[in-house]
Amino acid sequence: MSVLSTGTGALIAFQRALSTVSHNVANINTEGYSRQTVSFATRTPTDQGYGYVGNGTKITDISRVADQLAISRLLDSGGELSRLQQLSSLADRVDSLFSDTATSVSGLWSGFFDSASALSSNASSTAERQNVLDSANSLATRFKQLNGQLDSLSSEVNNGLIAATDEVNRLTQQIAKLNGQIGNNAASASSDLLDQRDRLISQLVGYTGGTAVTQDGGAINIFTPGGQALVVGTTASSLTTVADPYQPTRLQLALQTQGLNVAISDKAMGGQIGGLLEFRSSVLDPTQAELGRLAVGLATSFNDVHAQGVDLYGALGGDFFDLAAPGVAANPANTGSAALSASFGDLSALDGQNLLLKFDGSNWSASRTDTGASVALSGSGSADDPLVVNGVELVVSGSAAAGDRFLLQPTAGVAGSLSVAITDTSRIAAATAVKASATLSNIGTGAISDVQVTDASDPALLASASIEFIDATQYTIDGEGPYPYSAGQTISANGWSFTLDGAPAAGDSFSVGPTGAGSSDNGNAKLLAAVENLKAFNGGTVTLSGAVSGLTTAVGSAARAADYASEAQKIINDQAQATRDSISGVNLDEEAADMLRLQQAYQAASQLISTADTMFQTILSAVSR
């Protein structure tokens, strides 16, 4: 009977070991599966008086082959890979918009200024004037299209956050439930249950980033990179999305705690959610703000030059482009009645950064929304002394209360409002507003050159004026003076200026008057064509066309940096996965060897049972005689 018992026990043990090997092979393609191994031990021997006789073998444990350090490393690298892949994917889409000739602004930008240059060669041509308007409308439409595409990406980020929070909440609840099922002794828990929990944790960290911390007893707690608890034991937290107080169309993340929504900083999340938030803050927002800054630079600079000329009706040029004012949003929690109206001021100081304006009860202050760094602000906020910050002027109406806050978005979304203000080709101010001429009876060699409008807002700009030289070194303007004169000196008054080539003589006179209707003069058209080369940005160091190229380059650089980081992280993650698989993965060769060994052991145990049966039958035969 002892032989039969020993053989039966061995047969059952080897059968179960073979089942474990089969389970391993069956799950070779199961994501997150950890190989299981069987541990054997001898049964308690029997004391026969003359010594202990063994009773065979038994299975003491079916264990999960896993290394927590390798799993933790894979979790960390997986969360970071998810973040970078999300960032790279979206950044590449923005790069495509600005680098593809079919969607970028640079081609139409060049076409518009080429049309202005062609107009300067034939200022009276209706065809050339129509070409300028058509090119301007195409350029304005492209600005709107690009701004609309960026708005669509912002909506995608919102939708991505909603979908991700739903998935995070599902995963946290399942992990908390598994923590409860596993209980306080992970060592005795089902290996498949532990694998299931690790798989869910990996998916969760892929959404949020963060860390997994094992408690005493085996429960695992999950925390975001910012330290917010997502799962603690059997308790799961809940993520939700809330509207930005300043921008209701933009969603933020919040943690639901005791019925309250606690806002989570964008920098406190990793994984796919962190990638979405980082894309919005580091790629989407700066790109949209810079696109708006280009629109402001184009409209402001072109309008300023256009105002210096006169159209075919003989009237001073009005605005060529229309553009919305900077956006200002009040915090809903403000207690005062103040409202802020903004307008563009010094273009060279405009940087497009979103700013948070605060009132402490007596003074206003400004800080950047992305870094919190203080920004210089001057003025009192009145119409005569507006608040001035980063090239934007703000007038405060009503009464601000201590603690009131406002979000200033100087250029974000402004590109979508760019439009052409005129439709009549004759309204294009291609001619210089004033013209100067020399009296035919002059005896000196003075010849007029470089007639310019220096102040189009001067009310006397179009008034006729007479310049008379008392002698070669003195002159009067409409009888006023005399004013000193030296060779090459600029003569100016009433918002215009000109210079003389040669030397005037005593009694010489010159006249300045308005350019009449229907003039074919191209003086202002030349200035309009040169607007793209004006150093309008960054304190007068960057031209408008340079800023266009700079935007394309900046977007491309951000996309490439994200791609490089993603590719590097993919290698790190692959290495972490390989390390984990080398420890926990199923190796078919190894499993085949185990199966063959166990099969032979099973067959040997079967022979033991057969032998025991033969012995038993022999005894029965002997007794029956």
Give residue-wise pLDDT tens across range 329-347. 999 999 999 999 999 999 9
Model confidence over 243-260: pLDDT tens digits?
998 988 899 999 987 778
Averaged over 444-453, what is the pLDDT? 92
**What percent of the chain stands above pLDDT 90?**
76
Distances (CA, A) of 324 to 296, 331, 411: 9, 21, 9
With H, G, I as helix, E, B as strand and everything else as coil, classify residue 228.
coil
The answer to whether residue 625 scores a pLDDT higher than 70 is: no
The answer to whether residue 123 scores a pLDDT higher than 70 is: yes
The answer to whether residue 267 scores a pLDDT higher than 90 is: no
Model confidence over 356-411: pLDDT tens digits?
999 999 999 999 998 889 999 999 999 999 999 999 999 999 999 999 999 999 99
The whole-chain average pLDDT of the chain stands at 92
Distances (CA, A) of 521 to 304, 312, 525: 18, 10, 8
Distance in angstroms (rounded) separating the CA atoms of residues 149 and 268: 27
pLDDT value for 218: 81
The answer to whether residue 187 scores a pLDDT higher than 70 is: no
Model confidence over 595-607: pLDDT tens digits?
999 899 889 888 8
The answer to whether residue 27 scores a pLDDT higher than 70 is: yes
Residue 152 near residue 216, CB atoms below 8 Å = no
Averaged over 136-157, what is the pLDDT? 96
Averaged over 436-451, what is the pLDDT? 92
392 φ/ψ angles, rounded to the nearest 5 degrees:
-120, 140
CA angle (361, 367, 370) in 5-degree steps: 140
Q: For the chain, how big is the Rg over CA atoms in Å?
A: 41
Q: Sorting pLDDT into bands at 50, 70 and 90, what band is 147?
A: very high
Q: Sorting pLDDT into bands at 50, 70 and 90, what band is 447?
A: very high
Averaged over 14-34, what is the pLDDT? 91
The answer to whether residue 217 scores a pLDDT higher than 80 is: no
pLDDT value for 61: 86
Length of the chain: 625
pLDDT value for 1: 58
Averaged over 118-128, what is the pLDDT? 93
Domain parsing of the chain, residue ranges: 2-65+591-624, 70-284+543-577, 434-514
Between 625 and 503, where is the model more confident?
503
Q: What is the per-residue DSSP string for 244-296?
A: -SS-TTSEEEEEEETTEEEE--GGG--HHHHHHHHHIIIIIHHHHHHHHHHHH
Q: What is the per-residue DSSP string for 504-526?
A: --TT-EEEEEEPPTT----HHHH
**Which phi-psi region, left, alpha or beta, contains residue 530 (left: φ > 0; alpha: ψ -120 to 50)?**
alpha
Distance in angstroms (rounded) separating the CA atoms of residues 299 and 318: 12
Residue 143: how many other CB atoms lie within 10 Å = 25
Distance in angstroms (rounded) separating the CA atoms of residues 289 and 297: 12
Residue 475 near residue 467, CB atoms below 8 Å = yes
Residues in Cβ contact with 266 at an 8 Å cutoff, skipping those fewer than 6 apart: 252, 253, 274, 277, 278, 280, 281
With H, G, I as helix, E, B as strand and everything else as coil, classify residue 542.
strand
pLDDT value for 186: 64
Distance in angstroms (rounded) separating the CA atoms of residues 132 and 140: 12
Model confidence over 57-93: pLDDT tens digits?
888 888 888 888 998 999 999 999 999 999 999 999 9
Distance in angstroms (rounded) separating the CA atoms of residues 623 and 257: 81
Between 560 and 189, where is the model more confident?
560
